[in-house]
A and B are shown apart, each in its own frame.
Chain A
Amino acid sequence: MAMEYQVEVDGETYNVRFFERDGQLHVAHAGGTYPVHVSTPLRSKVQLAQMNGKPQRFGYHRGKESTDIVLDGIVYSAEVKETEHVRLAAVAKRKGGGGASDVKAPMPGMVIAINVKVGDEVKKNQSLLSLHAMKLENDIRAPREGVVKEIAVKPNDVLEKGALMIKLGPLPEKDS
Chain B
Amino acid sequence: MFKKILIANRGEIALRVIRACRKLNVQSVAVFSDADSHLPFVQEADEAHYLGPSPSADSYLRIDRIVDLAKEYGAEGIHPGYGFLAENANFAKACEAAGIVFIGPDSGAIDRLGDKRHAKAVAEEAGVPVTPWVKCAGEADKETVAAVESIGFPVMIKPSAGGGGKGMHRADTLEELTELLPKAAREAKASFGDDSLLVEKFLPTPRHIEVQIVGDTHGNVLHFFERECSLQRRHQKLLEETPSPSLTPEQRKKICQDAVKIAQTANYSNAGTCEFLYDEANGSWYFCEVNTRLQVEHPVTEQVTGYDLVELQLRVASGEKLEIKQEQVRQTGHAIELRINSEDPFMNFMPSLGYIEAFSPPEGEGIRVDAGYHTGDSVTQFYDSLVAKLILHGGDRVITTKLAKQALRDFMVVGVATTIPFHLNLMEHPDFVAGKFDIHWVEQHMAELTTRNRSADAAVMAALMEYRRLQKVRAAQSRAGELAFDPWSSSSLPRLK
Task: Please list the residues of chain A having a beta carbon within 8 angstroms of any beta carbon in chain B.
Answer: 3, 5, 7-10, 12, 14, 16, 18, 27, 29-31, 36, 38, 42, 45-47, 49, 51, 56-62, 67-76, 78, 80, 107-108, 134-135
Which chain A residues lie closer than 8 Å to B375 at the CB level?
45
Q: Within residues 57 to 91 of chain B, which ones have a CB less than 8 A from any CB in chain A? A: none
Q: Are A135 and B348 in contact (CB under 8 A)?
A: yes
Q: Select the residue from A10, A12, A72, A76 with max chain B CB neighbours within 10 A.
A: A72
User: How far does the alpha carbon of A73 sit from the alpha carbon of B362 in the complex, in Å?
Assistant: 13
Separation in Å of the B378 CB from the closest CB of chain A?
A: 14
Q: Are B413 and A70 in contact (CB under 8 A)?
A: yes
Q: Select the residue from A27, A75, A78, A80 with max chain B CB neighbours within 10 A.
A: A75
Q: What 1/0 mask marks residues of chain B from 401 to 422 whose CB sits below 8 Å from any chain A CB?
A: 0000000111111110110110
Q: What 1/0 mask marks residues of chain B from 436 to 458 whose CB sits below 8 Å from any chain A CB?
A: 00000000000000001011111
Which chain B residues lie closer than 8 Å to A47 at the CB level?
461, 465
Which chain A residues lie closer than 8 Å to B149 at the CB level?
none
- A-B pair count, CB < 8 Å, reads 140
Which of chain A's residues has its CB closest to B462's CB?
A78
Which of chain A's residues has its CB closest to B469's CB?
A42
User: B358 near A: Cβ within 8 Å?
Assistant: yes
Q: Are B460 and A42 in contact (CB under 8 A)?
A: no
Q: Are A134 and B350 in contact (CB under 8 A)?
A: yes
Q: Classify the interface of chain A: helix, strand, loop or mixed.
A: strand
Option from B347, B456, B465 in Cβ contact (under 8 Å) with A60? B465
User: B203 near A: Cβ within 8 Å?
Assistant: no
Option from A7, A59, A61, A134 in Cβ contact (under 8 Å) with B463? A7
Separation in Å of the B455 CB from the closest CB of chain A?
A: 4
Q: Are A71 and B460 in contact (CB under 8 A)?
A: no
Q: A10-B452, A72-B454, A74-B452 are in contact. Are A46 and B461 (CB under 8 A)?
A: no
Separation in Å of the A51 CB from the closest CB of chain B?
A: 7
Task: Please list the residues of chain B having a beta carbon within 8 angstroms of any beta carbon in chain A.
Answer: 344, 346-348, 350, 357-358, 360, 375, 408-415, 417-418, 420-421, 423-424, 452, 454-470, 472
Which chain B residues lie closer than 8 Å to A73 at the CB level?
408-409, 411, 413, 418, 420-421, 423-424
What 7 pairs across the A-B complex have the smallest Cβ distances? A73-B420, A78-B462, A76-B458, A45-B358, A59-B414, A14-B459, A16-B463
Separation in Å of the A84 CB from the closest CB of chain B?
A: 12
Which of chain B's residues has its CB closest to A14's CB?
B459
Option from B348, B411, B458, B470 in Cβ contact (under 8 Å) with A69? B458
Which chain B residues lie closer than 8 Å to A56 at the CB level?
457, 461
User: How far does the alpha carbon of A134 sit from the alpha carbon of B344 in the complex, in Å?
Assistant: 12
Which chain B residues lie closer than 8 Å to A36 at the CB level?
464
Q: Are A61 and B357 in contact (CB under 8 A)?
A: yes
Q: Are B466 and A42 in contact (CB under 8 A)?
A: no
User: How far does the alpha carbon of A9 sit from the alpha carbon of B459 in the complex, in Å?
Assistant: 6
Q: Are B459 and A7 in contact (CB under 8 A)?
A: yes
Which of chain A's residues has its CB closest to B468's CB?
A42
Which of chain A's residues has its CB closest to B416's CB?
A75
Q: Are B464 and A75 in contact (CB under 8 A)?
A: no
Q: Are A9 and B458 in contact (CB under 8 A)?
A: yes
Q: Select the residue from A78, A107, A135 with max chain B CB neighbours within 10 A.
A: A78
Option from A51, A75, A107 in Cβ contact (under 8 Å) with B460? A51
Q: Are A72 and B409 in contact (CB under 8 A)?
A: yes
Q: Are B458 and A71 in contact (CB under 8 A)?
A: yes
Q: Are B467 and A59 in contact (CB under 8 A)?
A: no
Which of chain B's residues has its CB closest to A70's CB?
B414
Option from A30, A38, A69 in Cβ contact (under 8 Å) with B462? A69
Which of chain B's residues has its CB closest to A29's CB?
B460
Given contacts A3-B470, A9-B459, list 4 more A-B pairs with CB under 8 A. A9-B456, A27-B460, A67-B466, A74-B346
Q: Are B414 and A45 in contact (CB under 8 A)?
A: yes
Q: A9-B458, A59-B414 are in contact. Are A42 and B472 (CB under 8 A)?
A: yes
User: How far does the alpha carbon of A69 sit from the alpha carbon of B408 in the complex, in Å?
Assistant: 16
Q: Select the residue from B358, B411, B458, B469 with max chain A CB neighbours within 10 A.
A: B458
Which of chain A's residues has its CB closest to B414's CB?
A59
Which of chain A's residues has its CB closest to B419's CB?
A73
Which chain A residues lie closer than 8 Å to B472 at the CB level?
42
Which chain B residues lie closer than 8 Å to A74 at the CB level?
346, 420-421, 452, 454, 458
Option from A3, A18, A58, A75 in Cβ contact (under 8 Å) with B461? A58
Pick 16 A–B contacts, CB within 8 A, sort by A. Answer: A7-B462, A12-B459, A31-B457, A46-B358, A46-B360, A51-B460, A59-B413, A67-B462, A69-B465, A70-B413, A72-B408, A73-B413, A73-B420, A74-B421, A80-B462, A135-B348
Q: A31-B456, A58-B461, A107-B347 are in contact. Are A75 and B417 (CB under 8 A)?
A: yes
User: How far does the alpha carbon of A135 sit from the alpha carbon of B360 in the complex, in Å?
Assistant: 33
Q: Are A31 and B421 in contact (CB under 8 A)?
A: no
Q: A72-B421, A76-B462, A134-B348 are in contact. Are A62 and B469 (CB under 8 A)?
A: yes
Which of chain A's residues has its CB closest to B420's CB?
A73
Which chain B residues lie closer than 8 Å to A49 at the CB level?
461, 464
Separation in Å of the B367 CB from the closest CB of chain A?
A: 16
Q: Are A71 and B466 in contact (CB under 8 A)?
A: no
Which chain B residues lie closer than 8 Å to A72 at the CB level?
408-409, 420-421, 424, 454
Separation in Å of the B466 CB from the closest CB of chain A?
A: 4
Q: A31-B456, A69-B461 are in contact. Are A46 and B421 (CB under 8 A)?
A: no
Q: Are B347 and A5 in contact (CB under 8 A)?
A: no
Which chain B residues lie closer than 8 Å to A71 at the CB level?
454, 457-458, 461
Q: Are A76 and B414 in contact (CB under 8 A)?
A: no
Q: Select the residue from B423, B462, B465, B468 with max chain A CB neighbours within 10 A.
A: B462
Q: Select the residue from A31, A45, A107 with max chain B CB neighbours within 10 A.
A: A45
Separation in Å of the A23 CB from the closest CB of chain B?
A: 14
Q: Are A46 and B412 in contact (CB under 8 A)?
A: yes
